[in-house]
C-alpha cells in the first residue's frame, strides 16, 4: 500500500503529490476523531432505520443513497473538513465543487451472492466518450470510514494501485461470468476515522462484507465547476412553453432527468437522444460513444 499521507492544513508535499500521481490514491490516517466517527455513524444508522421503516430496505439490505448531505445533513461538515480538504485543492485547484456523493451502509452478507464483475472507473460514460490515453483525471474522491475496516472481508474497497493510467482492464464478456480480480488488486484497509483519497480513474470495486461489523462509509466526489450547464435551467418544467418541446429538445436544455444516474447515462433506454438514435439505426457498436 502507498505511503500514508500525513494530516495537516497545508498543501500536499511534493512527495505526497508524487505518490498520488504514481499510485492513484493516498490514505489519510486518523482524519476523524472518535467523537466524529460516533456522530456520523449514528446519523447513517438513523437514515438506515428510516429507510427500513418506510419499507425501502429489508432487515439486512445494504443502503446506497446519493446526495450525501441531502440524505444525511450532518455530513455537511465533511465537505471541507480541515484534515482532508487540502488534499482536494492541492490536486485540482480552487475552481471545483461536489458533483457526486453518496452514503453507504452494508450489513453482514450471510450467504454468497451470485457473481457480478464490479470493477470500474468512476465517471460512467466519460470513460467511453473521452478518447485520450490515459483519460484525464476530471475528479477526485474522498471516502470517509466510519467503521473499523482494518481487516479484509469487511466490505472493503478493492483497488489496483497505479491503474488510474489504464483505460481498460481485462474482464468477462458478461458481468455474471466468474472472473478473477485484476493483477495487483488489493483490499484497502483502515480504522474508523481514516479516509481514502483517490483519483476517480483508479480501477476499483467493493467486496462483500462477511464480517460481523456493519460497513459505514461516505463518499464525496469533487470536479471542476465547469462540468455543469452554464445556461439557466432552473424550474424548466414550469415554463409555459416547456410542454411544447419534444423530448430531445428537453434533454438538450438540461431539463430531462439532468441529475444522478440519469445524467451519467446509466439508463440509455430512458434517454431521449439515445432513443432518437436507436430508432434511426444510428448507434454504432464499433465506436464507444455510440455503442448501444
Q: Which residue has the cell 504514481?
A: 22
Same domain, 272 and 171: no
Q: Which of 180, 196, 224 is the last residue of a domain?
A: 224
3 pLDDT above the threshold of 50: no
Q: Is residue 5 part of a domain?
A: no
Predicted pLDDT of residue 108:
96
CA distance 189 to 149: 5
Q: CATH number for the domain including 127?
A: 2.60.120.620
Judgement on whether residues 124 and 209 belong to the same structural domain of the protein? yes
Residue 37 grid coordinates: 466517527
The chain-wide mean pLDDT, for the chain, equals 90
Are residues 244 and 151 both part of a single domain? Answer: no
CB-based contact 27:4 (threshold 8 Å): yes
pLDDT (0 to 100) of residue 241: 81
Q: Is the pLDDT of residue 11 over 80?
A: yes
pLDDT, tens only, 274-284: 888 899 998 89
Q: Which domain holds residue 88?
A: 14-224
Given 181, 203, 224, the domain boundary residue is 224
pTM: 0.87
Q: What domain count does the chain have?
A: 2
Same domain? For 76 and 170 the reply is: yes
What are the pLDDT digits (tens) for 232-259?
Answer: 767 778 888 888 887 888 887 776 665 6
Residue 124 has pLDDT above 80, yes or no: yes
> Can you tell me the mean pLDDT for 175-190?
97
Residues 193 and 286 in one domain: no
The predicted pLDDT at position 173 comes to 95
Amino acid at each position: 500500500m502507498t505511503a500514508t499521507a500525513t494530516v495537516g492544513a497545508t498543501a500536499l508535499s511534493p512527495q505526497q503529490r508524487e505518490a498520488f500521481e504514481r499510485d492513484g490514491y493516498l490514505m489519510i490516517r486518523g482524519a476523524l476523531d472518535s467523537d466524529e466517527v460516533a456522530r456520523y455513524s449514528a446519523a447513517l444508522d438513523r437514515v438506515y432505520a428510516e429507510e427500513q421503516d418506510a419499507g425501502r430496505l429489508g432487515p439486512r439490505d445494504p443502503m446506497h443513497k446519493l446526495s450525501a448531505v441531502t440524505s444525511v445533513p450532518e455530513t455537511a461538515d465533511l465537505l471541507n473538513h480541515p484534515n482532508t480538504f487540502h488534499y482536494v485543492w492541492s490536486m485540482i485547484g480552487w475552481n471545483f465543487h461536489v458533483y457526486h456523493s453518496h452514503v453507504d451502509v452494508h450489513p453482514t452478507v450471510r450467504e454468497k451472492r451470485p457473481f457480478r464483475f464490479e470493477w470500474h472507473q468512476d465517471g460512467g460514460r466519460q470513460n467511453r466518450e473521452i478518447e485520450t490515453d490515459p483519460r484525464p483525471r476530471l475528479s477526485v474522491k474522498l471516502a470517509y470510514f466510519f467503521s473499523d475496516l482494518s481487516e479484509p472481508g469487511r466490505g472493503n474497497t478493492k483497488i489496483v494501485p497505479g491503474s488510474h493510467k489504464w483505460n481498460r482492464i481485462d474482464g468477462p464478456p458478461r458481468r455474471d461470468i466468474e472472473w478473477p480480480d485484476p493483477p495487483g488488486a488489493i483490499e484497502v484497509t483502515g480504522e474508523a476515522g481514516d479516509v481514502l483519497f483517490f483519483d476517480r480513474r483508479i480501477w476499483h470495486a467493493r467486496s462483500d462484507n462477511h464480517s460481523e461489523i456493519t460497513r459505514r462509509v461516505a463518499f464525496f466526489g469533487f470536479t471542476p465547476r465547469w462540468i455543469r450547464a452554464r445556461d439557466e435551467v432552473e424550474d424548466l418544467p414550469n415554463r409555459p412553453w416547456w410542454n411544447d418541446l419534444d423530448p430531445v429538445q428537453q434533454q438538450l436544455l438540461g431539463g430531462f432527468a439532468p441529475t444522478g444516474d440519469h445524467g451519467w447515462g446509466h439508463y440509455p433506454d430512458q434517454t431521449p437522444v439515445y432513443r432518437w438514435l436507436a430508432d434511426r439505426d444510428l448507434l454504432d457498436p464499433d465506436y464507444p460513444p455510440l455503442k448501444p
